[in-house]
Amino acid sequence: MRHMVPWAGTVFVGTYSGGVAGFRVADGALVQLERVFGSAAHSASVRCLGAVSEVSAGGRCTYLASGGADEVVHVYDVTQQRHVGALAYHEGSITALAFGQLEDRLYLLSAAAGKSAEVAVWRSGSGASRQPWQMVAVLRGHKGTVDSIAVAPNGALALSVGDDNTLRLWDMRAALDVPGPHRCRLQVRLAEVAAAVRWSPGGDRYLVAARDYVELYQLAGAGATDAVRVPVGSPVASAEFVGEEEGQACRVLVACADGHVVLVTVQGGKHSVERVNLFSEEHRGARRLRGVGCVGEADGRLWAVGATANQLHLVAFPVGEGGGAGGVQSLVTGHRVTCCVVVR
C-alpha cells in the first residue's frame, strides 16, 4: 500500500547492535526510507533516544542523544553529521533521555536503571559547535529506575516518572544555575508504575501513561486539575502529544506493546479513541511496538510512524470531516530496532 505524503520527517532508531540510524521521507514523494544518518558508537544495545531541533541565526540544527546498555550517552550533531560527546556518569543501562532549552542554554537530562537512580543534567558549550558537553548537576529523589523524562517547552521545568510509583517535578533553572544535587519541587504518588510522561507542545498540559490507559492533566495556577483518564485497551509502551492544541482539544498518539497504534482525542471532557492494529494478517511480520511519533498532517489524515523489530510502519488516521482513507504501510529498516524518536 502506497500513499502520497506532502510532508517530511526524520525517524531515528536505536538498534540491538549498538547503532543509531536516521531515515527521512521526502516531501511529496512516494513513501520510502532515505537513510540520512548513521552511527555505531555504542558497544551494546541502544535503549533510548532523545532529539531536539534548535533554530538560531545560523539556521536549524538537530541534536540527537542515544543511551545504551553500555552505560554511556552519546550526543550527535545530525545536521553536521558529527559525534559531539560521549557522556559517562551512570552505573546501569541508560533508560531515559530528554533535551531542553532554557533561553540560550541547551541541556540534556539522562537517567539509568538502578535502585537509587539519579537524573544527570548535562549542559552544552556555547557557540555553533555546542561543545563540550559537561555535567552540571544531578536530580535526586527517585528510589528506583527512572523510566521517562520530559522537559517543558520553555525549558524551565521537567517531569520524571519511575519504578517507585512517583511523578516528580524539577526546577531546571535552579539546576542549571546552581551546581550540585537538587531535590524535586513536587512529588506525586502514582497508583501504578508509569511507562511515559510528556508535556504538551503548548506547555499547559502533561500526560502520564501507565498500564492500559493515559491520564491527561490541565495545568491551572500552581497545580493541575483532576486527570482525564482514557483507557486505550492495550498495554502502553509510550505516548506522545500531537501538534498544538486547538482551544480545549488535544490529541495523543499511543504506542501499545501488542502492536496497536492509538489516536486519542480529548475535548470538553469527552474523548474518542481510534486504534490501528499492526499485527493484522497483512502485517503479521510485525513485532512488539517500540515507539510512535507524528510525522505530519495533510489531506484529512494524520500520519504517524511506529517502530517494530526491523520495520517502520506508516499509519494514516482520518481526522476531521471528510478525512482521507486510513491505512498502514510497512517499510523494512535493515536493523533490529529497540527504540525510536521522530523529529519534524
Tens of pLDDT along 186-242? 999 999 999 999 999 989 899 999 999 999 988 765 455 568 899 999 899 999 998
pLDDT tens-digit readout, 29-50? 445 667 888 999 999 999 999 9
pLDDT tens-digit readout, 53-89? 876 666 678 999 999 999 999 999 998 899 999 999 9
Q: Domains plus CATH for the chain?
A: 1-40+295-344 (no CATH), 45-294 (2.130.10.10)
Model confidence at 25, pLDDT cuts 50, 70, 90, reads low
Model confidence at 255, pLDDT cuts 50, 70, 90, reads very high
| DSSP symbol at 249 | B
Q: Is the pLDDT of residue 22 over 80?
A: yes
- Please provide the size of the chain in residues: 344
pLDDT at 118: 92
pLDDT tens-digit readout, 148-178? 999 999 999 999 999 999 999 999 999 999 9
Q: What SS3 state is found at 178?
A: coil
Q: Is the pLDDT of residue 7 over 70?
A: no
pLDDT at 4: 43
pLDDT at 246: 57
Asked whether 323 and 337 are in contact (CB, 8 A), the reply is no
pLDDT at 323: 58
Question: Is the pTM higher than 0.75?
Answer: yes
Sheet containing 20-25: order of strands: 34-39, 20-25, 9-15, 337-343
Please report, for residues 67, 91, 139, 179, 308, the alpha-carbon distance to residue 73 in angstroms, rounded to integers and kept in the order given: 5, 12, 17, 21, 23
pLDDT at 285: 45
Asked whether 123 and 136 are in contact (CB, 8 A), the reply is yes
Asked whether 121 and 115 are in contact (CB, 8 A), the reply is no
pLDDT at 93: 95
Return d(Cα 266, Cα 249) in angstroms, integer. Answer: 5
pLDDT at 171: 97
* Mean pLDDT score of the chain: 85
Report the percent of the chain where pLDDT is more than 90.
Answer: 52
Angle value at C-alpha 218, between 213 and 222, nearest 5 degrees: 130
pLDDT tens-digit readout, 118-149? 999 999 876 655 668 999 999 999 998 999 99
Output 271 or 285, whichever has higher pLDDT. 271
pLDDT at 307: 85
pLDDT at 225: 59
pLDDT at 212: 94
Mean pLDDT of 235-255: 83
Residue 82: CA count within 13 A, CB half-sphere = 11
Model confidence at 28, pLDDT cuts 50, 70, 90, reads very low
Return d(Cα 108, Cα 175) in angstroms, integer. Answer: 12
pLDDT tens-digit readout, 296-339? 777 778 888 888 878 888 888 887 666 556 778 777 788 889 99
